[in-house]
Structure 1
Amino acid sequence: MYRNFRIVPNIIFGRGAFNQLGDILKPKRSSGGSMVFIMDRVFSGKPLESRLPVAEHDLVIPVNVDDEPKTKYVDALTAQVKAHTAKACGVIGIGGGSSMDLAKAVALMLTNPGSSVDYQGWDLIRNPAVYHVAVPTLAGTGAEISRTAVLTGPEKKLGLNSDYTLFDQVLLDPELTAGAPKNQWFYTGMDCYIHDIESLHGTYLNAFSKAYGEKSLELCRQVFLEEHEDSADRLMMASYFGGMSIAYSQVGACHALSYGLSFVLGTHHGVGCCIAFNVLDDIYPEGVREFREMMTRQEVPLPQQLTRGLSDQDMDTMVKVALGLEPLWENCLGKDWRNHMTPARARELFSRM
């Protein structure tokens, strides 16, 4: 049986496209209710916030993404929206991957009972989400196109993986990525590059994933190893293609290990992927070599010795979280992956981070 998966139905791309957000939202306002803008708080008081098409009764929530999105934060945001309006007619996520994941999760929890903890896993969501829109201001995570809202819960880091998680509308405006701190720009872009490497070298690879992955990889190389005036445009499309590549395949060892790193240390996803990828020479040798070349060319440092001095309990927790992501390991190493990635080997990889 082949997966019959959904994709985002509406996408607008182009410099200045953000100016059309009000027109895009207008038909959804006909039913009444409030639009909810979940915006990275870095834009509070900045020109972007003043450009939001906010109408009477709408709600703007500047969100704190200093930490990776947590289930308790999603539940608190959902409660805040419900206290503001009995009917949210749309949720708009503005920011990087964390802001978009928060928007996806809140849109889901407005129509599904209980806590977001209850839905960490695959296809546990039962009711369609509120209409929701992605406006990325960073490029690389693929959150704008993925069916996952990645959340850290009390026991695990695992996404709300569902066809209902997908955005209804994506607005891709490369102008919005201008001014991002260079390290953050690089680490987020490397998330996309690593998506491509893991997809293209995985056991789940197929012509669909390969077509998107190869184009995304080509664009990443143009952005990080060459000079182009439209690099922002290229990276935004690389992110989209990279997200599509893993939609019909899967990520691999790097993402599994980065989840363990993030769960224990709170390491942000982009830089966490870079730290994990840097120790995977034996699994992705050419990819790691090229990653280091990109890092050198862009003059971006990589945090070192994050796991030095961690307790045995913390190390065991990281290993447990990482090895719990079975589809990622199967894509990376095959159905007998447990014979190749033992707890001892995973621990040794973490010790090198």
Structure 2
Amino acid sequence: MVSKVVFGRGSFNQLEEILLLKRLNVNAPFIFLVDEVFQGNDKITSRIPLAYEDEVIFISAKEEPKTCQVDALVEYIILKFKDRPSGIIGIGGGTLLDLSKAVSIMLTNEGEAQDYQGWDLVKNPAIYHVGIPTISGTGAEVSRTAVLTGPEKKLGINSDYTPFDQVVLDPELIDNVPTPQWFFTGMDCYIHCIESLNGTYLNAFSQSYGEKALELCREVFLGDHLNTQAAQDKLMMASWHGGMSIAYSQVGIAHAMSYGLSYLLGTKHGIGNCIVFDRLEEFYPEGVKEFKAMKSKFNIDLPQGLCKDLSDKEFNIMIDVALSMVPLWENALGKNWNKTITREKLRSIYEIM
């Protein structure tokens, strides 16, 4: 679990004080991985506390994070700086946060990022790393996984060394997020809750966090305060609680199938979850009904016909990726999940997307 958390409007301004005691020496920089959408935006960039050899690297979040991207960043850092960095600070949405977690791990572990896609494969603790979300919903700021697309699969680096050492939750940073992005990322949190609370892995820990996150999601997405300060505060805490709800449980069918979409088609995670979840009435009837109400309230039109022109080979690639997510299927349907979920069943669902 994340050991230190700061929450509050304007808390980003505490970053300099937070990092001061963590600097190893003047030759050991802090590396800030920042969503390129903030390049030239003084709201963020002018407040980053740079000193000595510190560096800001702007990264596009238009595509899902990749293992090769992690490897390239690690190589750049190792070759450029004399000393190992004092820390990695990720500023952005789930893509930047997952990249930051993965880079911090790969600076202390040999090999390539793809070698660590799976559960508890990381041997050495990561370097100090800080997460600062600028959009809420993914739960990446609190989760023990860094989800990456590799050459053969989309799967997280899941380990006890993955979570951030420090998180700064400043609701001011999610102000002015475009409504579609606000919705799709927020629905990632909502779907976390539905899948966790309806899963076979459910326990008192995950239930307590999941129920609170679900309550906050309903207030934000069925209430009357779109992107107000109250909604920003609540969505940021819903994301945190939603991420915590799966710390001792798992997500489910929507996430497993969206990984297939993302791996083959590059569909962004939040949108992919919505596209899949919209078709899962058979498995989550009440959740899908409520999701459709939220979609209607926000006038959201989901992409249609993503799979209509796919070949048999492409369908099989998606199905292989989805079926590889065994813990997700077990959580959703139990140990005998493969009696319900066949390749034919998955293809029939993908075909209507």
User: After the TM superposition, which residues 13-32 of structure 1 pair with which residues of structure 2 at under 5 Å, given as runs?
Assistant: 13-32=7-26
- Pairwise CA distance, 1:67: 0.9
1:82 equivalent in structure 2: 78
- Pairwise CA distance, 1:51: 1.1
User: After the TM superposition, which residues 334-349 of structure 1 pair with which residues of structure 2 at under 5 Å, given as runs?
Assistant: 334-349=334-349
The alignment's TM-score, normalised by the length of structure 1, stands at 0.97
Equivalent residue in structure 1 for 2:109, among 103, 112, 123? 112
Equivalent residue in structure 2 for 1:92, among 89, 95, 101? 89
**Does 1:302 pair with 2:302?**
yes
- Equivalent position amino acid for 2:338 in 1: R
User: After the TM superposition, which residues 28-107 of structure 1 pair with which residues of structure 2 at under 5 Å, given as runs?
Assistant: 28-32=22-26, 33-47=28-42, 48-85=44-81, 86-107=83-104
Whole-angstrom distance in 2 between the partners of 1:319 and 1:87: 41
**Does 1:12 pair with 2:6?**
yes
Whole-angstrom distance in 1 between the partners of 2:190 and 2:139: 11
Equivalent residue in structure 2 for 1:184, among 181, 185, 188? 181
- Equivalent position amino acid for 1:284 in 2: Y
1:270 equivalent in structure 2: 270
- Pairwise CA distance, 1:30: 4.5
CA contact (8 A) 2:117 2:157 kept: yes
Q: Size of the alignment, in residue pairs?
A: 347
Equivalent residue in structure 2 for 1:172, among 169, 172, 177? 169
1:200 equivalent in structure 2: 197
2:40 alignment partner, SS class: coil
2:322 equivalent in structure 1: 322
- Pairwise CA distance, 1:311: 0.8
1:257 equivalent in structure 2: 257
Runs (4+) of structure 1 exceeding 4 A deviation are: none
CA RMSD of aligned residues (A): 0.8
2:86 alignment partner, SS class: strand
- Pairwise CA distance, 1:31: 3.8
Whole-angstrom distance in 2 between the partners of 1:65 and 1:176: 16
1:163 alignment partner, SS class: coil
Whole-angstrom distance in 2 between the partners of 1:30 and 1:289: 52
- Equivalent position amino acid for 1:126 in 2: K
User: After the TM superposition, which residues 113-262 of structure 1 pair with which residues of structure 2 at under 5 Å, given as runs?
Assistant: 113-228=110-225, 229=228, 230-262=230-262
CA contact (8 A) 2:24 2:86 kept: no
Whole-angstrom distance in 1 between the partners of 2:304 and 2:50: 43
Residue-by-residue CA offset, 1:169-219 (whole Å, 9 max, x unaligned): 000000000111111110000000000000000000011111100000000
CA contact (8 A) 2:144 2:160 kept: yes
Name whichever of 57-66 and 34-43 sits farther off: 57-66
Whole-angstrom distance in 2 between the partners of 1:245 and 1:155: 28
1:290 equivalent in structure 2: 290
